[in-house]
Structure 1
């Protein structure tokens, strides 16, 4: 008969699992081994708190995504590693969640630092405050307020971290992050979300790295649109500056499909999201395609990942990434390619394949990102938001 592991043992096993695939700063690892995540998730089987999965804490009555959730612990660890907070730092967290992340930050900055966490939802803020108090982190400041406004009363901050997806950098944050300070946020552009680590240099934010992630979008930003096609069975998610018109694409899936194949192949567990990231460096037609099971059952060519596949859209035509298993290379049996629909489908499929092969030639390269509070200078590839300009190079 085996002994049931204690919660401390479960917590340490989870951290062991996370650190087996990623090197964490010592302060982050120590905090994750110290803070009891189960204390922030009352009503949940405590053992489930130490699995690497997200937990919904407030459902959204108006949509499929929850209003608030406890993030996947490995993503929490990754973002705290990006933040690189130091003892004595002053930190603002946007998106209080369960309060667990704020407790980790409080452990990292210690008694000489200060952590402020804000959330627009009254119930979420109250939950975070209650759980932090019960776990002994009463020195964390919790505010119920719009995170897009930050918390100027406790500024300036050495570090600012968002645990909700943002489409733009709020203007208010620029005045609250100290020059030389670090901002980590899940930033959305061209249908994808990346956790980007940025350093403030005057009126610019300069990236130090980015990782694939997914987060509930913040309330109050409206920079993305969805076009439904094929009787709602296929959706295109795009930015407001992109011209994706449903009336022009209404019949795009009624015609034949053209398949074009790249040289690049991938293994079964090998990520290929870098294709999407690299494509956004130069191509303003890139967006996200989502195909339902009903669409696939109706004969639409299966996208590489049905719920989130990069696509290129121009006028009445589109193309998106697909996969084909070829066993000629056991290490990388999946060949990447593109499916094109519409009058220009073949040309757009070739465009997507060019993006795939550019990535395939250097799979670890990550674009440099600079975000400007005002107009961007010439050079690089600008993506205009409402309150900032992103330049990829």
Structure 2
């Protein structure tokens, strides 16, 4: 549900209410205890802050902040109306946090983050828990993190989608054709040769199918997550229906949101229905274009097969400040402006 439209006319609202299943999932990740001091970034309707106030009880304290004055006022009004006058509502840039009420035992972001703000470290207690929708390589996961010194270590992650926080621009969008109906969404550290990729799409594509099958309701988003833990070429592909009709592009698994490997060629995830009588009638594979299509397709098949061998496995994510000394740590490292991510299976 949209709370406030984007004043810049963008496709996403400035603020919206999350569906109850996402609210419940993130509260379980947060693990609130009686007496906790809590900071929520992204006030929304105020509903989530009211739930947090119930969970932390009379001995706790909840602060909720929002960068937009209208949204903050709306949350304040709704909380007062529901009897939660003790919740502290502030108009504040979420990237700054609310240091005047710190330290916090729990911090919850209800907006999408591309990077972990450096200002948050000083506001989270040792042993405290942070839950945030974190975006890397084009996909977003709600990650539950526990602080130990200068390291945050994940205690689980779930697929989600959130309105992005205002003030972070590390994710880029690059059109691959003249009418901007095919594009890649990528991180700033990923070099994208739009001319080469656009030229690749004018060639005849190939399909390479894996041995991995899925049922009609079975999730396969773990393929994307698995790829991010070892491959810096993976990002997000968006293809409009018009592009598929006019440019004869093979249909991605999810046209607006599919993992793609890029170079001077590209390969993206596809799904093909093969056996209607099977419990798993759909097969996962790769569609690829360009001079190195076959190699990229096979690389994507390798990621699909790695996921298929342990479908429910999730990586451990550790986050350290980018300004800290880069200690040797296991896993695949993704460096952002203010933080350093490491993923390990």
- Cα distance in structure 2, aligned partners of 1:197 and 1:329: 39
Is residue 317 from structure 1 mapped to residue 258 from structure 2 by the alignment? no
Residue 249 of structure 2 is matched in structure 1 by 300
Q: Normalising by structure 2, what TM-score?
A: 0.97
Equivalent runs, 1:236-247 vs 2, <5 Å: 236-247=184-195
Residue 20 of structure 2 is matched in structure 1 by 73
Residue 206 of structure 2 is matched in structure 1 by 258
Is residue 145 from structure 1 mapped to residue 96 from structure 2 by the alignment? no
Q: Normalising by structure 1, what TM-score?
A: 0.85
Asked if structure 1 preserves the Cα contact closer than 8 Å seen for 2:50 and 2:84, the reply is yes
Asked if structure 2 preserves the Cα contact closer than 8 Å seen for 1:320 and 1:339, the reply is yes
Partner SS for 1:131: helix
How far the C-alpha of 1:360 sits from its partner, in A, is 0.5
Residue 102 of structure 1 is matched in structure 2 by 49
Asked if structure 2 preserves the Cα contact closer than 8 Å seen for 1:230 and 1:295, the reply is no
Asked if structure 2 preserves the Cα contact closer than 8 Å seen for 1:376 and 1:389, the reply is no
Is residue 83 from structure 1 mapped to residue 30 from structure 2 by the alignment? yes
Residue 133 of structure 1 is matched in structure 2 by 80
Asked if structure 1 preserves the Cα contact closer than 8 Å seen for 2:99 and 2:123, the reply is yes
Equivalent runs, 1:19-168 vs 2, <5 Å: 55-62=1-8, 63-168=10-115
Partner SS for 1:148: coil
How far the C-alpha of 1:328 sits from its partner, in A, is 6.4
Asked if structure 2 preserves the Cα contact closer than 8 Å seen for 1:227 and 1:245, the reply is no
Residue 333 of structure 2 is matched in structure 1 by 382
How far the C-alpha of 1:364 sits from its partner, in A, is 0.6
- Cα distance in structure 2, aligned partners of 1:219 and 1:263: 42
| Stretches of structure 2 lacking an aligned partner (at least 5 in a row) | none
Q: Deviations over 1:178-210 (max 9, x none)?
A: 000000000000000000000000000000000
How far the C-alpha of 1:283 sits from its partner, in A, is 0.3
- Cα distance in structure 2, aligned partners of 1:206 and 1:169: 13
Q: In the superposition, relative to structure 1, how do residues 376 and 58 fare at CA in structure 2: closer, same or farther (>3 Å)?
A: farther
Equivalent runs, 1:283-298 vs 2, <5 Å: 283-298=231-246
Asked if structure 2 preserves the Cα contact closer than 8 Å seen for 1:95 and 1:117, the reply is yes
Residue 283 of structure 2 is matched in structure 1 by 335
- CA-based RMSD of the aligned residues comes to 0.9
Asked if structure 1 preserves the Cα contact closer than 8 Å seen for 2:176 and 2:195, the reply is no
How far the C-alpha of 1:249 sits from its partner, in A, is 1.9
Residue 134 of structure 2 is matched in structure 1 by 187
Q: Deviations over 1:79-108 (max 9, x none)?
A: 000000011100000000010000000011
Partner SS for 2:198: coil
Asked if structure 2 preserves the Cα contact closer than 8 Å seen for 1:296 and 1:302, the reply is yes
| Stretches of structure 1 lacking an aligned partner (at least 5 in a row) | 1-54
Runs (4+) of structure 1 exceeding 4 A deviation are: none
Partner SS for 1:130: helix
- Cα distance in structure 1, aligned partners of 2:137 and 2:301: 18
